[in-house]
Amino acid sequence: MKKLLLLGGGGEIGSAIKEKFIACGYEVLAPRSTELDLSNSQDITTYMDALKGEDFDALIFCAGRNNPALVGQQSLEEIQKTLQVNCVGLAQIVGALRAGFERRRGGYILGISSLYGSISREGRVAYAMSKHALNGLMRTLALELGPSGILCNTLSPGFVKTKMTVKNNTPQTIAALERKIPLGFMAAPLDIAEAAYFLCSEQNRYICGQDIVVDGGFMAGGFQHI
């Protein structure tokens, strides 16, 4: 049975990814935040040490921290924690799993990024920094691990109808966003899960080092200020 290590599987997108892979015959290991605290590098080391000898066919990083604030109004501690959770922790985890992936001569590593990995918006300093960094990390991994047959990509959802979206945007903002999406509606978590499965399946033989945007056409006309 194929195995997936899913980090950040407790959110709505992560849960949809987990359900999709299980339905497709995968064994999915998806530690909760109480089992693996991505904000704590020592906790990551302890968790990964416990997994030594265990190989995975795919690693999907779906963890996310997003507390909007303007520059100067967000603490350095919050910025550092967002970077740690959204990007730095993944670099540490890949470092621990790299030998196993290379030994198997194949596999998939997918980071769930965001449109804010390419653009930004007022009040998203920490989040945009972390997602830009995540995209850079995954492109570097593509260069380093591609020769071993490991396909590394990011998947950037557009606006998805989740609790986080509702928390961080007013109803008026959500309505304005949907008017600017060519398809006219926000994605469901399942739409993102389907794309994630394709990128980490045998159907994907040649997509590597890319940021795949799933946004209903929102970015096609360039970023539209809201």
Name the domain count of the chain.
Answer: 1
Q: Which residues of the chain have pLDDT under 50?
A: 226
Domain contains 115: yes
Q: Which of 20, 26, 114, 130 is catalytic?
A: 114
Domain contains 128: yes
Q: What is the pLDDT of residues 150-166, one digit of tens each?
A: 999 999 999 898 887 88
Q: What is the pLDDT of residues 79-124, one digit of tens each?
A: 899 899 999 999 999 999 999 999 989 999 999 999 988 888 786 8
**Host H or E run for residue 206:** none
Describe the chain by its helix, strand, coil percentages, rounded to 5.
50, 15, 35
**Host H or E run for residue 198:** helix 189-199
* Strands of the chain, DSSP E: 3-7, 27-29, 58-61, 107-112, 150-157, 211-214
Q: Is 23 exposed, middle or buried (0-12, 13-18, 19+ CB in 10 A)?
A: exposed
Q: Which of 81, 127, 130, 197 is catalytic?
A: 127
Residue-level pLDDT at 123: 67
Q: Which of 18, 20, 81, 131 is catalytic?
A: 131
Domain contains 226: no
Q: What's 105's domain CATH number?
A: 3.40.50.720
Q: Is 127 a catalytic residue?
A: yes
Whole-number percent of the chain with pLDDT over 90 = 70
Domain contains 24: yes
> Whole domain around residue 109: which residue ranges?
3-221
Q: What is the Cα–Cα distance from 31 to 37, expressed in whole angstroms?
A: 9
